[in-house]
Amino acid sequence: AHLDRMAEVEPKIKAFLHVDRETTLEQARAVDARLKAGEQLGPLAGVPIAHKDIFATRDMPTTAASKILEGWRPPYDATVTARLRAAGLVILGKTNLDEFAMGSSTENSAFHPTHNPWDLTRVPGGSSGGSSAAVAAYEAPLSTGTDTGGSIRQPASVTGIVGMKPTYGGSSRYGLIAFASSLDTPGPFARNVLDAALLHEVFSGHDPMDSTSIDAPVPSVVEAAKNADVAGLRIGVVKEFAGDGYQPGVLARYHEAVQLLESLGAKVVEVSCPSFTTALPAYYLIAPSEASSNLARFDAMRYGLRVGDDGTHSAEEVMALTRAAGFGPEVKRRIMLGTYALSSGYYDAYYGQAQKVRTVISREFEAAYQQVDVLVSPTTPTTAFAIGERTDDPMAMYLADLCTIPSNLAGNAAMSVPVGLADEDDLPVGLQIMAPVLADDRCYRVGAAVE
């Protein structure tokens, strides 16, 4: 049924980079055989899923939406992929994204943009915009994403679905093509909070293949999603994330959601986190710095594309020609910015300063969580913007992540849950729910109460 739905709507939505009906049906038959053989597979056995094309899959291409990886087939599965398969989920295909997950609209894909199912002239958010659009368009009931600076929560918000960034280290980065290693976090998309929780539990948990994976029990998020009781819970409204620059319709739905929580017995207090407004510039130094180092591996020798290998160019020239042809403009901008920020003489002023800001933000979270159990804000200042509207203005594009980035810098858990449509454009609005490290269950509990 989902393959048929994809055949019907994909020409308009373009959520996928790779679909192969036969591989999908083969997986489904294999799951069926395992179930018939009496294997205990858990609640998601046989459920189809759309998988972000940044996770290594041994039976499907893995491109990170970059020309430099076009046609590459990894010899192994990412841990997230392997855990989906082990639980019997059936992969429908690989979804579109901003190249190497750098962007907020999926327009930086080297292949094509993806369209928001609510309004085809709008973006589905990014970088995991193929995954958000696939679920919002009923092409898949579930999908995977990665959140480095908001790339699960922001696309979930603008397509009206649930998206969760687990605690950093709570889900494995092994086999995830690296963007900014200290921030990258795999997480689930679903149309409701309980479905997201079921998927969260399938792929979370310690992985010895990832050195930053947390060796602690996974918070029981499924239990939390079933227990939507917020009576007595202390909820902090982040003062800095409202007001100028926020769309009135976004603020209206946000304030209603807060009132709803209050009417359900939560204690709502205003909390000030003054440094959160400096998270964005700090992130845009830290993330590109890590990216400039991670992307050095695309050297024309190891993977995919190779340009100028005709006997007339040196290895160094082949490397330069390949990177010039294989990386898109946003990726090049990040590599240059990161290389500059890390260079001797500038390191202390830029990268070092940004790391200090990161520490201050973590401390403000810690102070806030002395007073409250969760923090809330709008997920993103506006609803989905028009395709093309921000492509010439990287700074305007970066603003989409204003509210999401602090939780990445601190490594905390954070969710976006739909809270209705904005009056001025009838487009979805998301509520962001932030919780301390390893308190992912609180996001699910509050999310289930407001959905």
**Site of interaction with ligand GLN (CB under 6 A):** 101-104, 127, 147-151, 179, 287, 401
CB of 438 to ligand GLN, least distance (A): 21
Judged by beta carbon, residue 19 or residue 177, the one nearer ligand GLN is 177
Q: Which of 156, 180, 177, 154 is nearest to 168 (CA)?
A: 180
Judged by beta carbon, residue 5 or residue 333, the one nearer ligand GLN is 333
Supply the residues annotated as catalytic: 52, 127, 151
Judged by beta carbon, residue 287 or residue 422, the one nearer ligand GLN is 287
CB of 151 to ligand GLN, least distance (A): 3
Judged by beta carbon, residue 139 or residue 401, the one nearer ligand GLN is 401
What 3 state SS string does 123-156 have?
CCCCCCHHHHHHHHCCCCCEEEEEECCCCCHHHH
Judged by beta carbon, residue 394 or residue 420, the one nearer ligand GLN is 394
CB of 98 to ligand GLN, least distance (A): 7
Judged by beta carbon, residue 364 or residue 401, the one nearer ligand GLN is 401
CB of 315 to ligand GLN, least distance (A): 31
CB of 340 to ligand GLN, least distance (A): 17
Question: CA–CA separation, 264 vs 378, rounded Å?
Answer: 19
Judged by beta carbon, residue 152 or residue 429, the one nearer ligand GLN is 152
Judged by beta carbon, residue 207 or residue 401, the one nearer ligand GLN is 401
CB of 83 to ligand GLN, least distance (A): 21
Q: Which of 126, 146, 124, 148 is nearest to 135 (CA)?
A: 124
CB of 65 to ligand GLN, least distance (A): 12
CB of 336 to ligand GLN, least distance (A): 15
What 3 state SS string does the chain have?
CHHHHHHHHHHHHCCEEEECHHHHHHHHHHHHHHHHCCCCCCCCCCCEEEEECCECCCCCCCCCCCHHHCCCCCCCCCHHHHHHHHCCCEEEEEECCCHHHCCCCCCCCCCCCCCECCECCECCCCCCHHHHHHHHCCCCCEEEEEECCCCCHHHHHHHCCEEEECCCCCECCCCECCCCCCCCEEEEEECCHHHHHHHHHHHECCCCCCCCCCCCCCCCHHHHHHCCCCCCCEEEEECCCCCCCCCHHHHHHHHHHHHHHHHCCCEEEEECCHHHHHHHHHHHHHHHHHHHHHHHHCCCCCCCCCCCCCCCCCHHHHHHHHHHHHCCHHHHHHHHHHHHHHCCCCCHHHHHHHHHHHHHHHHHHHHHHHHCCEEEEECCCCCCCECCCCCCCHHHHHHHHCCCHHHHHHCCEEEEEEEEECCCCCCEEEEEEEECCCCHHHHHHHHHHHC
